[in-house]
A = this chain, B = another copy of it.
Amino acid sequence: MINFEFKNPTKIIFGKGEIAKISREIPQDARILLVYGGGSIKQNGVYDQIQEALKAHTVYEFAGVTANPEYETLRNAIAVIKEKDVTYLLAVGGGSVIDGVKFLSAAAGYEGDPWDVVKKPVRPQEGEGIPFGTVLTLPATGSEMNSGYVISRKETNEKLGAGGPGLFPQFSVLDPEVVRSIPKRQIANGIVDAYTHVLEQYMTEPSSADLQERFAENILISLQQHATKLMEPEFDYGAAANFMWCCTMALNGLIQKGVVTDWAVHAMGHELTAYYGIDHARTLAIIAPAHYRYNLETKKEKLAQYAERVWGIAEGTQEEKANKGIIKMEQFFHSLGIDTKLSDYVADYQDTATRVKNAFINRNWMGIGEYKRITPQDAYEIVLRSC
């Protein structure tokens, strides 16, 4: 097991009806900025629950944070924070809104150019940023219990990840009832997003971190087990609760400790979103199987273990099991209505592999993924196989 440090101070408040508790978590004298996206929280009742909970607090609002939260939008929020002397941020939404609020927490009290805090992700240390909490309305990214965020800047065509030990939410409310009104397409995306988060921290060379590997496998199994009920028209609270908790546990730091991680699927997937606007989760479903087939030699043992423990495949050589595991993975994505080939999404995909390769070279990304072994040429081969 590799040496590691683990600290995650976020308070999780989990369950039906728990949104009301935010009034207790935010100081009575706080000047709160409620940050949200496009207004779905006004349809699903979450907005009303928050207004009710905070009726004795001072609350300002900032709406309009988009998916892949944009710097240009968030800059306007910084102006509101300064104007209203905001002392507490409340993110109500999915990963994009929460990521946006993390940026605001880091940037609002910073004297220089706000973009600095994204480029030099050492800020904020604990206690430096504006404190914030979240009410999660879309399980997927795990942002509600980690300290990382991703921000896009249109004017420079940058999409950067940052974070720091001061950017854990003080609290996050996870009420599985919010899943009731999420469109199935987004639920499917959430399942695949969380599933791939786990794969990126698991599908590597063998580690000796047995417990972490098993926990990773459990999250995969639990996502698979609840997927069918989640995709059915009728709402199932138990399935929603397990789904929600799986998404959080998939990226709260626990399963990445003591192991080597990969994240090559995300690096390549991001390009497909950039070129074609394909949903983030779907790009992961396109890249992952091709990535694992191309890297079968280094990942064979873990792929076979995945096939055995996650899918119960007992027969065959290690290589046969590994290949069966990848097929099972594809079938799982298909069962959610998610296609796994780029050509299923775009007609004009022929030069994609070359574009990805050149993009990586231009950015000086000479090696990505586990031990930075995936070269731009490897990325070319993988994307080619994903078409």
Quick check: is A218 within 8 A (CB to CB) of the other chain?
A: yes
Q: How many copies of the polypeptide does the oligomer hold?
A: 2
CB distance from A105 to the nearest CB of B (A): 18
Is B210's CB under 8 angstroms from A214's CB?
no
Quick check: is A9 within 8 A (CB to CB) of the other chain?
A: yes
CB distance from A248 to the nearest CB of B (A): 10
Is B211's CB under 8 angstroms from A218's CB?
yes
Which of A10-18, A108-116, A355-363 is the contact stretch? Answer: A10-18
CB distance from A370 to the nearest CB of B (A): 20
Quick check: is A246 within 8 A (CB to CB) of the other chain?
A: yes
A1, A17, A221, A225 interface centre (most CB from chain B within 10 Å): A1
Is A18's CB under 8 angstroms from B6's CB?
no
Interface size on A, residues (CB 8 A): 41
A114 to B210, CA, bound (A): 42
Smallest CB gap from A3: residue in B: B15
Is A7's CB under 8 angstroms from B6's CB?
no
Quick check: is A138 within 8 A (CB to CB) of the other chain?
A: no
Quick check: is A242 within 8 A (CB to CB) of the other chain?
A: yes
Is B211's CB under 8 angstroms from A242's CB?
yes
Is A14's CB under 8 angstroms from B210's CB?
no
CB distance from A94 to the nearest CB of B (A): 20
Quick check: is A5 within 8 A (CB to CB) of the other chain?
A: yes
Chain A 1-33 interface residues, beta-carbon cutoff 8 Å to B? 1-18
A67 to B9, CA, bound (A): 30
Quick check: is A150 within 8 A (CB to CB) of the other chain?
A: no
Chain A 164-195 interface residues, beta-carbon cutoff 8 Å to B? 176
Quick check: is A299 within 8 A (CB to CB) of the other chain?
A: no
Is B4's CB under 8 angstroms from A14's CB?
yes
Supply 12 further A-B pairs (C-beta < 8 A) apart from A6-B12, A8-B8, A217-B218. A2-B15, A3-B16, A3-B17, A4-B12, A6-B11, A7-B9, A14-B257, A208-B238, A208-B242, A209-B242, A209-B245, A211-B242
